[in-house]
Amino acid sequence: MTPWEVQADEFINCNCAYGCPCQFNALPTRGFCEAVLSFAFKKGHFGATRLDGLNVAMVLKWPGPIHEGRGQALAIIDERANEPQRTALLAIVSGKETNPFATMWNVFAAMTEKTFDPVYRRIDLKIDVEGRRGHLKVDGLIDMVGEPIKNPVTGAEHRPRIDLVGGFEYEIAEIGSGTAKTKGPIELSFDKTYAQFAHIHLNNNGIVPSRKVAA
């Protein structure tokens, strides 16, 4: 297995209501799962190949809950990546070179039956995890924005977080509101649905812990 490790900022928007039931081992809000994912790799390597400063986006769709499978997936890889970097990024987000179910990428891949050919494009991506704000644009494929959830009475910013022990993606996620529209082989449309912002640190074995958690 090729050793790899990445640190990235994550911005995700899915079709569920705020507080996405997947995070609590419950069924999806509307009975099916659709999502747009984006990752800004701050530091990372795949073997000897460096991945610092590169971006990846994904569009995913399942006809039911993720664990029932039959999903579809499209990966968009940063056009700035050279050939070894493209191969490395695609391997990681396709769940390869990873212990079974150790990362969300591996789980998603295991539950996917149709994977479209990857696309190499300019990925305009900005993520402010603590601010619960994000912007993702891939010309002809994705437009997505994220912002804090607003109090419906006062308009004040609301800041819920999920502290997830024993997960396969993040330790703490900031929760916001997302709006997205995609074109291409997987067409999706969300309006003010669940958005997730997180600092992630993963390798072949899953999360690289940054803190001690009380038993």
pLDDT tens per residue across span 187-207 = 999 999 999 999 999 999 999
What are 103-133's pLDDT values in tens digits? 999 999 999 999 999 999 999 999 999 999 9
Residue 117 DSSP label: P
User: Which parts of the chain register pLDDT below 70?
Assistant: 213-215
Of the candidates 1, 35, 31, which has an alpha carbon nearest to the alpha carbon of residue 15?
A: 35
User: Could you tell me which residues are beta bridge partners of residue 215?
Assistant: none
Return the pLDDT at 215.
Answer: 56
Return the pLDDT at 213.
Answer: 62
Structural contact between residues 197 and 21, judged by C-beta atoms closer than 8 angstroms: no
pTM higher than 0.75, yes or no? Answer: yes
CA 104 – CA 93 distance, rounded (Å): 9
Q: What token pair was written down for 124?
A: 């305009």
Q: Which residue has the tokens 């539950």?
A: 111
Q: Which residue has the tokens 């940054």?
A: 210
Q: Which residue has the tokens 């958690």?
A: 213
* Other C-beta atoms lying within 10 Å of the C-beta of residue 4: 20
Return the pLDDT at 211.
Answer: 72
Structural contact between residues 131 and 146, judged by C-beta atoms closer than 8 angstroms: no
